[in-house]
Amino acid sequence: MYFHHVYPAAVPVLKQRRSRLQHALLGTPAVVSAGAPPSRNYPANLYEFRATSHFLYLVGIPLVDAVLVLADGRAELFVPPMAPDDPLWHGEQPGLDEIQAVTGVDRVRVLPELPAHVATLGPAGRLPLVAAAQRTPADEQLIEAILALRLCHDDFAVHELRRAAAVTVRAHAAGHQAARSGASVASVRAAMEQPILEADFTTAYSSIVTVRGEVLHNFARSGCCQAGELLLADVGAESDSGWASDVTRTWPVSGQLSPSQRAMYELVLAAQKAAIATVRPGIRYRDVHRTACRVLAAGLRDEGLLTGEVDSLVERGAHALFFPHGVGHLLGLDVHDMEDFGDRAGYAPGRSRSSQFGLCYLRLDRDLAPGMAVTIEPGLYFVPAILNSEALTAPFRDVLRRDALPRFADVRGIRIEDDVLVTASGHEVLTAAIPKEVADIHR
């Protein structure tokens, strides 16, 4: 057990978060575990450790196998006892007093004392979540209290989101430089991840760097960039304290967009700007999504890919033939923040996912509030699995103009994604320093 990033300034923040959580829990205890790194095939080869987000939110530092217990107004942290040969393999370890100092908990104890301590408490809410069938009322209460706490970020969290965004700016600049004709896709990804590693940050998710942007979750990295192709890069840094960024840019490998690529690119950019412009406290996120859909549907009609009236096209979901996913999601300690709670994080009580193709993939439908962070990431894709699907296209036979499709063969997929913080007066784009204007793309 060790930690190497400590922010002493965070202790008051951590105390406040734990205090607010205990107030919301009305006396119900909470037991929050940090988890352990999964092993890669055999026990001694571990993936890089990433503590659970709820633990990081409340304790601030990743401590393998540690457990936070909140009860009776106190915060006690249980950590694994030092093994005799830990100092040999892992160096001098922080003492219990040092851990207490940097976390601000009331007491640090060793894990073997946990069961007896928990036995003295009433039924406690537990995180990570146990399987739905095993969940108790205390677990449910803890979910609700955490949601109330984490949906809107405090100043320290925003500070960390900005740090993650700043490194992501460098990653995308490096990618822009590296994306030349003949460069391997893997080398572009390597160039983008280098500033992230240099900062001693990690990637917040598996990077997507591909010239086949129409494959939405394309983690393959074989092949080379060719002049005439678009390179889609969905790469975000996670700060050393665990806060995420999530940014997509799409560049022409040659530095020049073809007319068809330019038309689709400007359309996605217009949709993204229009969606961002609507972000403010009180707006329903599904309406942010709809704003993007309307811009896209209008543009697809103007470009001859769809026919008909825009509101009707959007209502029927015709735009989803080209924009099948949602316009974004919550962002925080997780890239899809609190998605471990399923749609209880993204969907306000009483709201649930649509069954309509496209809208069914929307991960967020809450009324936005100051301190929330979201991504705004519309895209346009020419996905064979959609356009060749009888089931998906049949309802739109009257509005889909197949004859126009060949004209856009060099587009494949375009997505433009930024991280947006909801402020008291509107919004702030945390990743605004990453160029996305066509004028900036034409180098």
Amino acid at 196: I
Calculate the alpha carbon distances from 103 to 11, 59, 86, 124, 300 in Å.
6, 6, 22, 22, 53
In the block, residue with structure tokens 């709201």:
351
Q: Which stretch binds its own copies (CB under 8 A): 58-66, 193-201, 228-236, 416-424?
A: 193-201
Under rule CB under 8 A, residue 42 binds its own copies: yes
Q: Is the dihedral of CA 217, 221, 223, 224 positive or negative?
A: positive
Interface residue with its own copies, options 88, 116, 119, 439 (CB under 8 A): 88
Q: Which residues of 264-279 are buried (b: 16+ CB within 10 A; e: fewer)?
A: bbebbbbbbbbbbebb
CA 306 to chain centre: 31
Q: Which is nearer to its own copies, 56 or 283 (CB)?
A: 56
- Helix, strand or coil for residue 346? helix
Three-state DSSP class for 67?
A: strand
Q: Which stretch binds its own copies (CB under 8 A): 12-20, 112-120, 214-222, 310-318?
A: 214-222
- The binder of its own copies chosen from 44, 132, 133, 424 (CB under 8 A): 44
Instruction: Please list every residue from 66 through 85 that binds its own copies, using CB under 8 A.
Output: none
- According to the binding rule CB under 8 A, does residue 187 interact with its own copies? yes
Tokens (6 digits) for 86: 């830990």
> Which span (130-138, 149-157, 219-227, 263-271) binds its own copies, by CB under 8 A?
219-227
Residue 324 touches its own copies, criterion: CB under 8 A? yes
d(CA 410, CA 209): 17
One residue of 96, 101, 118, 186 binding its own copies per CB under 8 A: 186
Coil/strand/helix, residue 79: strand
Q: Does 132 bind its own copies (CB under 8 A)?
A: no
Question: What CA–CA distance (Å, rounded) separates 383 from 377?
Answer: 17
Which position among 19, 23, 40, 227 is part of the footprint of its own copies (CB under 8 A)?
40
**Interacting residue with its own copies among 38, 115, 349, 350 (CB under 8 A):** 38
| Residue 135 interacts with its own copies (CB under 8 A): yes or no | no
Q: 107-110 and 74-79 as β-strands: parallel, antiparallel, unpaired?
A: parallel
Among 110, 385, 409, 433, binds its own copies (CB under 8 A): 385
Choose the binding region for its own copies from 164-172, 190-198, 229-237, 284-292 (rule: CB under 8 A). Answer: 190-198
Q: Counting contacts by CB under 8 A, is residue 180 touching its own copies?
A: no
**Do the beta carbons of residue 214 and residue 381 sit within 8 Å?**
yes
Contact status, residue 418 vs residue 172, Cβ threshold 8 Å = no
d(CA 95, CA 379): 50
Calpha distance 245→240 (Å, rounded): 12
Q: Which of residues 90-119 bind its own copies (CB under 8 A)?
A: 90-92
**What minimum distance in Å lies between the beta carbon of 163 and its own copies?**
14
For its own copies, the binding residues in 333-372 under the rule CB under 8 A are 334-336, 338-340
Q: Among the candidate windows 8-16, 179-187, 305-313, 403-411, which touches its own copies by CB under 8 A?
A: 179-187
| Whether 262 contacts 303, CB under 8 Å | no
Neighbouring residues of 49: CB distance < 8 A, sequence distance ≥ 6: 36, 37, 62, 64
Q: Which helix (H) or strand (E) holds 55?
A: helix 53-59
**The one among 11, 15, 24, 50 contacting its own copies by CB under 8 A:** 50
- Indicate whether 147 belongs to the interface with its own copies (CB under 8 A): no
Binding positions for its own copies, rule: CB under 8 A: 2, 4-5, 38, 40-48, 50, 52-53, 87-92, 184, 186-187, 189-191, 193-195, 197-200, 205-206, 212, 214-222, 324, 334-336, 338-340, 383-386
